[in-house]
Structure 1
Amino acid sequence: MGVAVINGPIVTAFLEDREAFDRCAEEQFASFDANGDGVLSRAELMVGFEELRFFEPHAELTAEEIDALFDKVFERFDSDRNGTVDLDEFKAEMREIMSAVARGMDEVPIFVPLESDSFLMRAAEYQASKTGKKLVC
């Protein structure tokens, strides 16, 4: 876990560099693919998201409600509805999620605690490598 300085333009710049974004998505996908079969099962995607703290326990949500929420998330990723998520589906949905994050942020930089291998941390590291500014602590 680290702290990064992040804003909408930093995330957008990362998304616009297709090579950098795709490399990050491919690495994340491979880390989620526990059995190495080249696709993500519902369980593999859930474990991966839990490791990145996408689904933090919330007192107001029951385990059943969190499970139902994840069902909806998995449906978004599994665009061809075959019961697994392939790399192209993963990249497309992560790009959509990151685009929404960028649109929701303005230009004012904020300090955010992030997992070291999260997409937002990778965006901050990408920007730091391009500008020479220290954006990650």
Structure 2
Amino acid sequence: MSVVVLDGSTVRSFVADEAAFSRSVDARFAALDTNGDGVLSRAELRRALESFRLLDGGGFGSTEPPPVPSEVAALYDSVFEQFDADHSGAVDHAEFRDEMRRIMLAVADGLGSQPLQVAVDDQGGSFLLEAAEHEEAMIAARVRKESKKEADGK
């Protein structure tokens, strides 16, 4: 687990950098496409969603009951339908990229302009971690450029 500081502009900048965002989406898509057929099946996307463990109940010591399996299945189906824009029964690379862009921009809107510390998974990859690393690289490049200008000007 890593902690990064970011705000909405960090995420928007990452999404706006087509090359950086595409590399990230391409890597994530390839990792999810376990059978290598170039599309994500309902089962492949569901495995990815299950790995987030968002629906495991209230957590340790919680009195909340675990979710009802039929409700969980309906939720996963709904998410799949959101990704499968053309309703072909599979999520192609373009659909995945477009939906991830939409999700990341919604996250940016939710973050707003106040910097926040966010815990991110640094083992399996994280779009938020990549956004923070992208911002760090952009700042470092500006600092190098300014330092070079100063050195050349003196």
**TM-score, scaled to structure 1:** 0.88
Q: Distance in 2 between matches of 1:63 and 1:120?
A: 30
Q: Distance in 2 between matches of 1:75 and 1:87?
A: 15
Q: Distance in 1 between matches of 2:55 and 2:128?
A: 17
Q: Give the AA of the match of 2:9.
A: P
Aligned length: 131
- Shift in CA distance, 54/4, structure 1 to aligned 2, threshold 3 Å: farther
**TM-score, scaled to structure 2:** 0.79
Distance apart, 1:55 and its partner CA: 3.0
Kindly provide the CA deviation profile for residues 34-82 of structure 1, in whole angstroms up to 9, marking residues without a partner as x. 011110011111112333x273423453232222111111001001111
Q: Give the AA of the match of 1:7.
A: D
| 1:4 partner SS | strand
Q: Do structure 1's residue 120 and structure 2's residue 128 form an aligned pair?
A: yes
Q: Which structure 2 residue ranges, 5 or more long, are not aligned? A: 59-63, 141-154
Q: Which structure 1 residue ranges, 5 or more long, are not aligned? A: 133-137
Residue of structure 1 aligned with 2:84, choices 78, 83, 99? 78
| 1:20 partner SS | helix
Q: Give the AA of the match of 1:98.
A: M
The equivalent of 1:104 in structure 2 is: 110
Q: Give the AA of the match of 1:106.
A: G
Percent of pairs with identical residues: 44
Runs of 4+ in 1 over 4 A off after TM superposition: none
| 2:119 partner SS | strand
Residue of structure 1 aligned with 2:137, choices 112, 129, 137? 129
- Shift in CA distance, 95/4, structure 1 to aligned 2, threshold 3 Å: same
The aligned runs of 1:28-47 (5 Å cut-off) are 28-47=28-47
Q: Give the AA of the match of 2:89.
A: G
| 2:57 partner SS | coil
| 2:34 partner SS | coil
Q: Give the AA of the match of 2:56.
A: P
Q: Distance in 1 between matches of 2:50 and 2:135?
A: 26
Root-mean-square deviation (Å): 1.4
